[in-house]
Structure 1
């Protein structure tokens, strides 16, 4: 049940938040942007609306599996801890149990999300280049195999699968898991915060005499949990994005620590909080949708199974 509900909730969340995620990644990886408005305008000017949805197909195809694993791992881990500590999987868990289960959920996600995150970041950060028109003055003769000297090359990656294949061919398996150390630090403690804060807020928002909050309570708890999780995740999210984008052109970073030191030295400590505002603005509506969908699907499945 938890796997199915998590899958449906995750897809709904991605559909809501992807354009802001693209802007966030661009701000974190490209110093040329002066702020959110500048990034949004520049992306729209260069690539129109399509630029905000680059790399979307892969997350949509994989997010159901990843979200399913996240919620399913959390619930199953929590049930096993409760069975071990209290003798029953249905016993009320302590805050420590919830934190450990959330952390385990975040760690398991890394093995599935790292390749898709690499493809997503590479596609989001490559600028769409327009090929010269065939009717333009610089067009090559029909039988000429070589492009003219002034032609502009197209984008390196034609889509998510082409991006994954190119990275694997040029950088090997390590390329697909570039930035996974930062991803591990990001998702471990952020998912612990995510599930713990959601549980606490649901308890606070549950009316007296009821076992669960109403729809408004779930929306509020889910949105706030998402904001808190991204607040603690943003520093490692910045480093993760920079490491994963570092395969385009000359490599700048030798690893996680070198990326942290270089980024802070060149741009100051504030660099670790680039995209924080966007992350929080995106997290609230996205996780409202994720949790209200998750809870609704769980109730529907339970109703059908009784």
Structure 2
């Protein structure tokens, strides 16, 4: 090579794992994305939980998102919209680190990193594997979060909530909703990842780093997946908040089918769609933020390691 010739730079596909990319980089990017997603949209998530609770107290009956926001802010103070957010932040970091690391590893193993082709099956499978791994870490934090979100919650801190739930209901309470959670999150994540990969392929064929594309594709994919899986989310909320009610049937509900039967008996089929609006409204910006933050962090780490 002549002395004046430029030194060649090894290039790699942005969407593929870089030749010197590390697992730590993907985990850091995922943790950053998870914390950003959950913390920004937390108040809307709290309103969704309130609207999904069966047999709430008369002062906690809401007719819509704006009504819920106004009622909660006036009656309990604006700070109440953030009750339990520390549980989400504490759990979202490690859970999303595992989530996106698993996603990248499985997608790469299935050939999904080849951006010249469309790989919906690889995207769906990697998403399903990712949520199985991450939900095992996140489920206890999600239980604590929802116990603190309900109207009249007596827990001042996440530590007090964790101790109270463990003392009165045992360790099983933190995982009673795990099978139902997986029943919801596996199709949700599979649909979301498949939609995201498909939309990204259409909106950004070169698959270069493009913040606007990642934001739009993430938001549309999240809203689509959230809308279809709302009934399962309603059942999950019933199981995770069962210890806060005096309703004997709800307190004794042990799983997906019992929870579904209670909802059907009390509210009919329309009961499975309670909180649909807040769930979609939460999911669209949440997944837009999550994918934007993840792709930005991944781009930064990969560029930094060339």
| Alignment map for 1:140-155 (pairs within 5 Å) | 155=154
TM-score (norm 2): 0.84
| Cα pair 2:118 2:201 within 8 Å, conserved | no
Q: Distance in 1 between matches of 2:69 and 2:128?
A: 34
Cα deviations by residue, 1:155-192 (Å, 9 ceiling, x for unpaired): 2x221111111111111111111211211111111010
Cα deviations by residue, 1:16-40 (Å, 9 ceiling, x for unpaired): 2000000000000145333323322
Query: Which residue of 1 is the match for residue 5 of structure 2?
Result: none
Cα deviations by residue, 1:235-276 (Å, 9 ceiling, x for unpaired): 111111111111124342323212111211211111111111
| Alignment map for 1:1-306 (pairs within 5 Å) | 1-31=25-55, 32-82=61-111, 94-127=119-152, 155=154, 157-206=155-204, 210-212=206-208, 214-250=210-246, 251-253=248-250, 254-255=253-254, 256-306=256-306
Query: Which residue of 2 is the match for residue 143 of structure 1?
Result: none
Q: How many Å apart are 1:116 and its aligned residue?
A: 0.8
Cα deviations by residue, 1:103-135 (Å, 9 ceiling, x for unpaired): 11122222112111110111000426xxxxxxx
Aligned residue pair count: 272
Q: Distance in 1 between matches of 2:204 and 2:238?
A: 41
Q: Distance in 2 between matches of 1:252 and 1:51?
A: 28
Query: Which residue of 2 is the match for residue 148 of structure 1?
Result: none
- Segments of 5+ residues of structure 1 without an aligned counterpart are 84-88, 129-154
TM-score (norm 1): 0.84
Query: Which residue of 2 is the match for residue 136 of structure 1?
Result: none
| Cα pair 2:53 2:237 within 8 Å, conserved | yes
Cα separation, partners in 2 of 1:93 and 1:205, compared to 1, 3 Å: closer
Q: Distance in 1 between matches of 2:179 and 2:225?
A: 18
Larger Rg: 1
Query: Which residue of 2 is the match for residue 152 of structure 1?
Result: none
Q: Distance in 2 between matches of 1:248 and 1:66?
A: 26
Q: Distance in 1 between matches of 2:74 and 2:259?
A: 30
Q: Distance in 1 between matches of 2:67 and 2:293?
A: 34
| Cα pair 2:230 2:279 within 8 Å, conserved | yes
Q: Please give the root-mean-square deviation of Cα atoms over the aligned residues, in Å.
A: 1.9
